[in-house]
Structures are given as structure tokens and as C-alpha cells.
Structure 1
């Protein structure tokens, strides 16, 4: 009688969840035929123009643990792992960014996050994955000191073009393939795609103008990368995440550099050009040789008009050749910009270390600055830092006239954003 009553209550508890709002189904949600909380969460994020990334945590040594612990204890251990993951995600990830934390195949943990593509880089995702994995491993070590529990991680962005559930399943399989670092058809497909892009130089560049705030004239262009049109790698977040995880980031960014040089020459562009680079590329021992090769090939290029914009500052440490390459690039005439200043301590630390010629103020500082006095105070502080270092300031992400007015009032040098112009073809923009 007790078992029967307990079973009935369990079923009632489970099926009552079908009517609950999504915010109550974030952690290990049941999947219903009538309503899949994962799919509905992804759809909601897409409607808000966010990207969705699925992060896979693959329990690599499950069978070894099962042999060691036995059936009952391994199930208890897996339940403890789920609890620890939930607590760590709640501590390290903003609640509103979590679409779902789910348990797949009874061994793999999947975390679905919504991502603002204007604020988040591939490095931000990797940093988060590293923190989650490190914290989970520490907690597991405290609870199971006698065990060595090994997790491998991978991640993939979900495409918006296909039916959502199918897109999610594809992204999950690719994330698992990345995590396991095994030779699978999915991993081989990604490697083939990125190698094909590199071999055929199958990238396109869009240009967004950077405006002189005082004169409203175009002073520079930022080059923005897009993958092959109509493919799963057209989105730059997906493109650069696959390139990073397959070890092809340097080759990809060298194609971006060459294509930017070619567009400058072909269009006769006389304004400055901003080109984004990760520390992985700026710290590569082959960098200076490749740059010199392009300068010879495109001899019309004046390096003084090229600004190398350093993104993903958190990965600068550990790049052995980074400092030496920066000195050599400056000797060639290139200038440096620090991206996303104001988004955290790392940007301020990088300014003091690199002393860039240009500081780009992060969109998070600029957004709604016209109604937020604290943000305007932050802007004034960053302008003071720029003045002390002799750097020009570019404010990013200007979306309306009120925000632009704050820049004018504070005598910001340069600005870019949809308020001034959206990205487009450089030739069409110039003509």
C-alpha cells in the first residue's frame, strides 16, 4: 500500500511540472512529449535575438568508477554529481542566462546558456567552462577524496536556421565530440569544414564605421568576420569557437588579416582600419613572419593606419611570444587597441601592461548611459585613464541619440554603433 501511494504521488509530482513556468524547470527538467522545456527555452532565447550555447561535461571514466564503486554506489555518486553541478552553476552563472542544466545519457551533464553576441566572446565561454569544471572537480574531491572523477568539456552554438529540436541535438552531438576529443564523424565534419574554409579562404568581412563624435565624420572602420554564407559557421561565434577547439584559430585570423589588407587596397580606403585579434594569434611565434609577408604582398598598406584590436584579454597570460610580438608590431608601425574596457578588472590591468594607443569602452558601460549617472561617472573615469596614457577613446554600442549626446557632453573622441550605421560591405560604404 505504501509503495502504491508513493508511486502515485511521484507521478502526480512529475506531471504537475508540465504546467510550471520555465523558470521552475531550469535544473534537470523532465522532458515531456507535449512540452520540452529545453526546446521552449531555446526558442525564447532566439526570439530575444540571443545566441544559445550548449556546454557538454562528459564523465570520461564512468566505467572505471562503476567497477570501483559498484551499482548502488555509482548511482549515489552520479546523484551527488548532479547536485554539485547545480550548486556550482547557481553560484557562477547569472540565473537569467541559464536555459537548462540537464542530465543526458545518464552520465553526461549539459548546460544550455543564452548568450548576447554583442557582449560575449568565445573566450568568455571558455573561461566560464574552465571555472565550472575547476569548481566542480574541487567539490567532488572534497566529497569523494578516494576517487579521481574525470570530466572532459566541449561546447557548440545552436543554429537558428533549422527546426529547433534537431538543431539542439546536432549541437549536443558536436559538443560531446569536442569534449571526448575522439575521432568521430561529427568531429571530423567540423575539422573538414574549418580546414575547407582555411584552404579556400572562405570568409567575408563587413565594415562598421567609427565616427568622430565632434565632427560626425567617419574616421575608421572596424572589420567584422563572417563565415561562409548559409552554413553553420556563418555566425562568428560558432566560427571562432570551432576554430579554437580544433586548433585553427591562428590560420583563421591570418586569413582575416589578409582579406582586410586586400579590401583596403581594392577600395582605396584612406581611413584607419580596426582588425580584431585574440592573444592566441598575437602570441604565435609565426605571426611576425606572416605579417611581413602580407606587407610585401600588399605594399600599398600603411601599417600606421592599421589598429590591431586585442580581444579576449583574459587569455593573454601564458602566451610566451605575446610581449615580443607586440614590440615588433609597433616597430612596424601598427597601433594597438584594447577592446571591451570597463567590462572588468582584466581590461584595466591590460591597459597598464600594454599602454594601447586606443581604448574601446565596452557596450555595457554605454548602454542606457543617458539615464544612469553611475555609468556616466565610469565613463569619466575611463576618459581620465585614457588621458593619462595618451590614448584615444572609442565608445562602442551607441544605439540612440540620447546615448550619443552623453558622449558629446563628455568629449569622447570616437564612437560606433547602430545609431550611426550598421555593418556592411566596405566598397558600398565608401562609394
Structure 2
């Protein structure tokens, strides 16, 4: 009886909601049998002569995620994702342009936008990347208590103007946007993919470096290579550049270009200090990885002992057997290996256990506010103890405040990197001694304060 009563109340609430203005429920409204508010608004916008575009968002490889986790975890993921989507969308899409947001398939969300001017595909593509990245960052922050990490993929397209049936037009647009989100659309069809392909072909990237300092002596131990795309483009941001390259299956090609540019800089500027180059498991498992690396070092006459490949957690290393074989070959050539993002999640710790790296880089999320959060300091001590046991060096990333650097020195962390010491810039020429002296002075002053 109570079940029947509850269902009746639910139906009554839904019927009452139909009388509301569509604006009050245009973001993930409940499911209606009589009328879909979002489709109704799409139909209305098109009849008023507006062009309608669609941005599609979804969790990457959601089908695999379902098989690996419980229904409770999946419900939690969906609940958190939809909450973040509601909070985020109006930060990027003006309310006057937003038609509505609805789930178009299981865990696939469509953002419908009213265009008041000629449709600019590249701008909407860029908007899709920004929204997807923002939601991914917030979502992973909320999921970290469950040791979950997800990737959000996104694609954008235009609803076909020559189809009168909105439901059919939306269906076609969803299929099209999904191909773009998955990186399966042909290059000429996707303006951003074409732009990225040209960046890779012409090596139109800039490599910056950030010094890594010895916290005992103040000397520069080495440099980490950081990448920027062309200025005044969406790809100037490294997050957008590498995230989109992964989405359209060009990540390895992009990372090979970064390695080549880094080697060219090392040779051209006579850099003899160790240089850290980020690389994902995607590229590490590329069939031509070893061949390409050998070719690059021979061309630029680079000593492998001067290069440390920094394996990032951005793409989880799943096949440890084959990856370990590649790493053994790299080490046999004289290269060293670092694991990035230690302390940020379970996967980096698993990679450390499987690979036993030469260097562990502690993630900035653990370093930030470490002087104010006792649990972070406890985690640092645990990582330092483990690193001592496996005889590997430790670098703390993201040091931005003097107090954070002081905690690192108190626990004898060997090396540090971050804005407190120096911002990223081009490879420092020999005349840059003033900056080096300033960094050294900071460290010596902190060491004396810590010692007292």
C-alpha cells in the first residue's frame, strides 16, 4: 500500500512540474512521459531560427568501469557527476544560451546550446574541452576518498538544420559528437584534431624547464621539461594539449615531438644536468618507442645518463610485464626512470612497487599545506622511509611556500621543485647565475632556520 502511495505521489509531483517554466528545470530534469522539457526547448529554439549545438560528456571507458566496480560505487559516481555538472555548466555557458542538459544515454550527458550567430565549430570544440576538464578535476577530487580516478571525454557538434524531427536530429548529433569524443572522426571533419595534427607535424610547441634543486646544497640537480602549445590557442594550455591528444589518439605522436624538442634544446644549449621528460604509459608501450628513442639520441648525440623519463599517473600502467621490459631496455641504454605523482593515488604506488624506480616524485597535492595538515606530513615520512628501503631518491613537487620547504628540509627530502624556488622558463643559459644564486640563498637561509 505504501509503495503504491509513494509511486502515486511521485507521479503527481512530476505532473505538477510540467506546469513550471522550462527554465526552472532545464538542467537534468526528471524523466517525463508526456513531454521532455529539453527537447521541447530545442524545438522552440530551432523554430525561432536559432542554430543549436550539442556538447557531449561521458566517463571514458564507462563499460569497463561498470564491470570493475559495485553498483553502489556506480550510483555514487553518477550522483557526484550530476551534482558537479549542475554546479559547473553555468560557469561556462551563459544562461541565455543554455537550452538544457539531459542524459541522452547511460552516463552520457548532452549540453544543448542556442547559437545566436553563425556556428563556429572550433569555439564549441574548445568549450567542450574546457567543460570536460573542469568536471574531470572536480569529480576526481570528490572520488579520491574511494581511490577512484576517471577521465571525462567530450565532443561537440551541430544539430542538423535540414531535419524537422528534433528527436531524430538529436540522435544524429549524439552519434556525431560521440565519434568526436572518442577520437574516431576523420581529421578534416574535426577542426581541432586537424589543428593538433598540424602542431605535431610542424613541431609547433615550446619546451620550458623548471629547475629541481638539491635541498642540502642549494645547487641545481636538474630540470623538468614542461610543454606549451602555440600562444593564443586552446592548446597553449598543457592540460588541454595533452588531454585532447589522448582523446584523438595522438598522444604518443605528441610526446615523441616533446622528446625530440627536449633533446634539441639539450644539445643546442649544452645542458649537462639531468633532464626529466614526462611520458605516459601509452607512449611507453608504443611499438616503436625504443627504436625512436635510439634514433633521437643518436641524432642529437645525447648521453642517456643525462635523461630521466618521468612516468606520469595520467594514464595508468596496466600491463606491468611489457612495460617493465621496456624500462629494463631503457636502463640498459643508460636512461633512468622516475615515477610521478606519488601520494596522489593508488596507481602511482602500485607502479613504484612494480618498477622500483630510480627516483620518486611526490605529488604537489601532498606537498601543498603540508605544514598545516598533520596527515600529509605523516604520509611524507612513510614515503621517505619506503624510498630509503628501496634506495631511490625523492623529489617534492609543487613547493610554493617557505613553510612547505621547511617541512621538507626537516624530513631530509633530497630535492625540491616549485614556484617558491623558480618558475618555468626556457633552458637557462650560462649567464643566468643570478637566479641560481638567489635560489641557493633561499635554501641556505631555510636550512639555517630549520637547524636552529
| TM-score, normalised by the number of residues in structure 2 | 0.64
CA 307–129 in structure 1, closer or farther in 2 if over 3 Å, else same? closer
Work out the CA distance in 1 between the residues paired with 2:413 and 2:204.
37
The answer as to 2:355 corresponding to 1:366 is no
CA 93–427 in structure 1, closer or farther in 2 if over 3 Å, else same? farther
User: What is the match of residue 326 of structure 1?
Assistant: 327
Q: Give the secondary structure class of the aligned counterpart of 2:272.
A: coil
CA 181–308 in structure 1, closer or farther in 2 if over 3 Å, else same? closer
Task: Say what the alpha-carbon RMSD is for the aligned residues.
Answer: 4.1
Work out the CA distance in 1 between the residues paired with 2:419 and 2:20.
50
The answer as to 2:121 corresponding to 1:99 is no
Answer whether contact 2:320 2:354 (CA < 8 A) is retained. Answer: no
CA 186–88 in structure 1, closer or farther in 2 if over 3 Å, else same? farther
The 5 Å alignment of 1:216-295 reads: 216-295=218-297
The 5 Å alignment of 1:20-419 reads: 27-28=28-29, 55-56=57-58, 88-91=77-80, 99-100=88-89, 102-103=101-102, 109-110=109-110, 112=131, 114=134, 128-129=150-151, 154-155=153-154, 176-179=178-181, 183=185, 187-299=189-301, 301-312=302-313, 315-318=316-319, 321-419=322-420
Identify which range, 198-207 or 184-193, moves more after superposition. 184-193
CA 190–382 in structure 1, closer or farther in 2 if over 3 Å, else same? same
CA 416–89 in structure 1, closer or farther in 2 if over 3 Å, else same? same
CA 226–7 in structure 1, closer or farther in 2 if over 3 Å, else same? same
Q: Give the secondary structure class of the aligned counterpart of 1:407.
A: helix
CA 330–54 in structure 1, closer or farther in 2 if over 3 Å, else same? farther
Answer whether contact 2:207 2:225 (CA < 8 A) is retained. Answer: yes
Per-residue Cα deviation, 1:205-251 (whole angstroms, up to 9, x for no partner): 11111111122222111001111222222222221122222222211
Query: How many residue pairs end up in the alignment?
Result: 335
CA 206–343 in structure 1, closer or farther in 2 if over 3 Å, else same? same
Q: Give the secondary structure class of the aligned counterpart of 2:371.
A: helix
CA 316–97 in structure 1, closer or farther in 2 if over 3 Å, else same? farther
Work out the CA distance in 1 between the residues paired with 2:393 and 2:22.
58
Work out the CA distance in 1 between the residues paired with 2:226 and 2:401.
21
Deviation (angstroms), 1:281: 0.7
Work out the CA distance in 2 between the residues paired with 1:220 and 1:408.
18
Identify which range, 185-194 or 197-206, moves more after superposition. 185-194
**Structure 1, unaligned runs of 5 or more:** 19-24, 32-52, 59-83, 131-153, 158-171
Rg larger for: 2
Answer whether contact 1:341 1:359 (CA < 8 A) is retained. Answer: yes
Work out the CA distance in 1 between the residues paired with 2:361 and 2:352.
11
Deviation (angstroms), 1:87: 5.8
User: What is the match of residue 72 of structure 1?
Assistant: none
